[in-house]
Chains A and B, each alone.
Chain A
Amino acid sequence: MVTLNSFLVLGALVFCIGLFGALSKRNAVAILMSIEIMLNAVNISLVAYASTFQSYAGAGHGERLTGQIFAIFIITVAAAEAAVALAMIIAIYRRRSTIDVGQINLMRW
């Protein structure tokens, strides 16, 4: 029997795998891929909540699909963020010939 807990545990696992990738990789594009994995895991949790409460019509607003609307906006903003981040990575590569985040450390204390 697949309950809401199964989807939430799946979302938590995938989020933590993405978090490990974002914290430990050296290539900037690999860090961006791990961030996309984290955003997908959050979307899974939101849509799981939306489908659990879809038959709850409270306060006269009709059926609530709030999690799915939130997921649409997260997909939109994640796509925009991926475009800007990859443009920055390409610009950095043009200047420094490297995208190793250990070597792009001019602002490091």
Chain B
Amino acid sequence: MSIDVATVAFYVIAITLVGSSLAVVLLRNIVHAALFLAVVFGAAAGIYVLLNAEFIAIVQILIYAGAVTILVLFAIMLTRNAMSQSSSPFSGQTWLAAIIAVALAAGLIFTVGASQMALGAPNSSANLAHAINGGGSVARIGQLLYSPFNYSYVLPFEIASVVLLAAIIGAIVIGRED
């Protein structure tokens, strides 16, 4: 087994990600859970960097670790009541939920391991050479999102802007005090 930096980095970031997400769902204090959620978003950005997706990593830090974490913390602050300290944060279906989650995890991991497809690796020689010589993913993502002449996803991009507009208007109207 070759111990190289990419393998060590992957396992460190993966253990951080799994541990932080366990902390989010298991902690009693919801503010601590929200702070560990920020760690989850940061660890996911680390995974994206390992996968040569540096643009997605920066977008993840900007939007998730930046905006969504602050939004969640504001919502926790505005909805603080006596429920948060006294009673258990879990409902009556905790054991059933745990059984379902473990069964689904076992099924997914078995499917991944038993797959007959001959898949490559993100760090195979062809993919690494392509990533090193390709000059980064930002230009290619720009072509794929905006190009009017080549094959691109410009129509879903424009529709996503309408989705964001609808979300802004909806959040303002729903959260209005009247």
Contact = CB atoms under 8 A, between A and B. Distances in A.
Number of contact residues on A: which range applies? 35 or more
Given A29-B75, A82-B71, A7 B51 contact: yes
Interface string A1-25: 1111111111011111111110111
A34 to B, nearest CB: 6
Given A33-B24, A84-B171, A27 B89 contact: yes
Contacts of B74: 86
A69 to B, nearest CB: 5
A20 B25 contact: yes
Nearest to A5: B112
A15 B106 CA distance: 12
Interface in A37-71: 37, 40, 43-44, 47-48, 50-55, 61-63, 65, 68-69, 71
Interface string B20-37: 011011000010011001
Nearest to B176: A91
B170 to A, nearest CB: 5
- A interface, by DSSP: helix, strand, loop or mixed? helix
A87 B129 CA distance: 46
Nearest to B106: A16
Interface in B156-175: 156, 160, 163-164, 166-168, 170-172, 174-175
A52 B37 CA distance: 27
B140 A63 contact: yes
Given A17-B21, A20-B25, A20-B101, A33 B127 contact: no
Nearest to B9: A2
A40 B122 contact: no
Interface in B120-141: 120-124, 126-127, 129-131, 134, 137, 140-141
B131 A54 contact: yes
B122 A51 contact: yes
Given A24-B94, A47-B53, A83-B167, 18 more contacts: A1-B2, A7-B47, A16-B104, A18-B21, A29-B34, A30-B30, A36-B64, A37-B24, A37-B40, A43-B44, A47-B51, A51-B122, A54-B127, A63-B130, A72-B59, A77-B160, A84-B167, A93-B79
15 contacts: A1-B121, A2-B10, A7-B122, A14-B40, A23-B100, A25-B90, A30-B33, A33-B24, A47-B51, A52-B120, A54-B134, A61-B150, A63-B134, A63-B140, A86-B72
Closest 10 CB pairs of A and B: A21-B25, A80-B167, A23-B97, A12-B108, A87-B175, A20-B101, A16-B105, A24-B97, A55-B130, A87-B171
